[in-house]
Amino acid sequence: MDIFQKCGEFDRPAKVKALGLYPYFVPLSGHVGAEMEMQGRKVIMLGSNNYLGLTDHPYVMEKACEAIRKYGTGCTGSRFLNGTLDIHLELEEKLASFLGKEACVTFSTGFQANLGVIGTLGDRGTVLFIDRKNHASIIDGTRMGYAKVVKYRHNDLDNLRHMLETHREHPGMIITDGVFSMEGDLADIPGLCDLGAEFGVRVMIDDAHGVGAMGAHGRGTAEHLGCEDRVDILVGTFSKSFACIGGFGAGPETVIDYIRHVARTNIFSASLPPSAVATVLAVLEILREEPGLVQKSHDAAERCRTGLRDLGFNVGNSEAPIVPIIVGEDLVCFRFWKELFENGVFTNAVVSPAVDQGQAMLRTSYMASHTPGMIDRALGIFKTVGRGLGLI
């Protein structure tokens, strides 16, 4: 059998394209904002993780341009050797201070942050306890090392307790998303920290959709739940609220220094480009000065969540600026996506394996720049399309 044979047999996208319902790789035109142009039509953007609405903020863009003029477009090497700029160090210091952690190390993507942190700490003889609905980057991070991996049922602390009791003899770490990226529900971080303390294991939170989008100051889900000082390791990304790309790990100085010198995704990957570093620094400034942006994204999400629920849609248990609309079957989801898009609302169609089989959904997400008028117009379109498809 040729190793390429499976590629030719992979016909799932082609079948959906033949039906005219393919919802992926749709090109965007211009800046990503609350309203924008896609394929010649103006749409309300409900499919972006730009929670603070800062990807086209004039100050943020100017700071990115200034960095390019000063440093060029890239570093052409890893942080370990020739790719560390003074602004990399500035960012790590300021981000650690913002998060209330001793130290911080940055990575070129959020995905690499999880691979590096988990793969480095999860070595032979350790046990990693992970929520079954964790992001793919956490799953892949556990595969980078030689740790034993134990999965517990989603947000089920009783099931996790049983797992911890079974593996008392090994050092370990509980790893979970802070905000689960598809459904928008939250991990029970206080409960996880209680179990961590009881069983002597560490707690790591991947807060990709929490930092900059949760908490009174935007420090994340643990701040929102009042337990940020109890989290041992905080991992996050710059590709959502921080308006560019990259990732980080923050925690005790000795641990971060170890990761900095051992993580393969830090040593063997080119460092963040100057424009991205400057973008994150600019967003940090704005977030410190305008923490109310976080609440604005929640206000928009709650307005749409309430409206969708009142219309009869299943919106799950979301508590973040992410609101799912669970429809069940894949083709129904794709038809719903297409009708919404053609009527001026862009969402994300999510099917297995990103969600459980039979739980296909439209994932919607909200920005600080969404106005009540935009949300109300979107709700009107959801109502018309949903009734036309017999969904409500």
Over residues 106-133, the mean pLDDT reads 97
**Whole-number Å distance between alpha carbons of 349 and 319:** 20
Backbone angles phi, psi at 203, to 5 degrees: -125, 125
**Whole-number Å distance between alpha carbons of 133 and 256:** 26
CA distances from 268 to 18, 72, 260 (A): 42, 21, 11
Catalytic residues: 181, 209, 240
| pLDDT score recorded for residue 177 | 98
Over residues 92-116, the mean pLDDT reads 98
First-to-last C-alpha distance (Å) of the chain: 48
Residues 6+ apart with CB under 8 A from 30: 36, 37
Output the pTM of the full model.
0.96
For 226-244, the pLDDT digits (tens) are 999 999 999 999 999 999 9
Residues 6+ apart with CB under 8 A from 152: 129, 130, 131, 132, 159, 160, 163
Which pair of structure tokens corresponds to residue 189? Answer: 């971080």
For 324-371, the pLDDT digits (tens) are 999 999 999 999 999 999 999 999 999 998 888 899 999 999 999 999
| pLDDT score recorded for residue 381 | 98
For 283-316, the pLDDT digits (tens) are 999 999 999 999 999 999 999 999 999 999 999 9
Look at residues 99, 208, 207, 206 and name the one whose alpha carbon lies nearest to residue 142.
Answer: 206
In the chain the domains, ranked by start, together with CATH numbers, are: 11-45+291-388 (3.90.1150.10), 58-289 (3.40.640.10)
| Burial grade of 290 (CB within 10 A; 0-12, 13-18, 19 or more) | middle
DSSP annotation of 29: E
Over residues 157-168, the mean pLDDT reads 96
| pLDDT score recorded for residue 163 | 97
Residues 6+ apart with CB under 8 A from 163: 129, 150, 152
SS3 168: coil
The CA-based dihedral angle spanning residues 266, 272, 276, 277, taken in that order and rounded to the nearest 10 degrees: 70
Backbone angles phi, psi at 88, to 5 degrees: -60, -45
| Burial grade of 24 (CB within 10 A; 0-12, 13-18, 19 or more) | exposed
Model confidence band, residue 21 (pLDDT cutoffs 50, 70, 90): very high
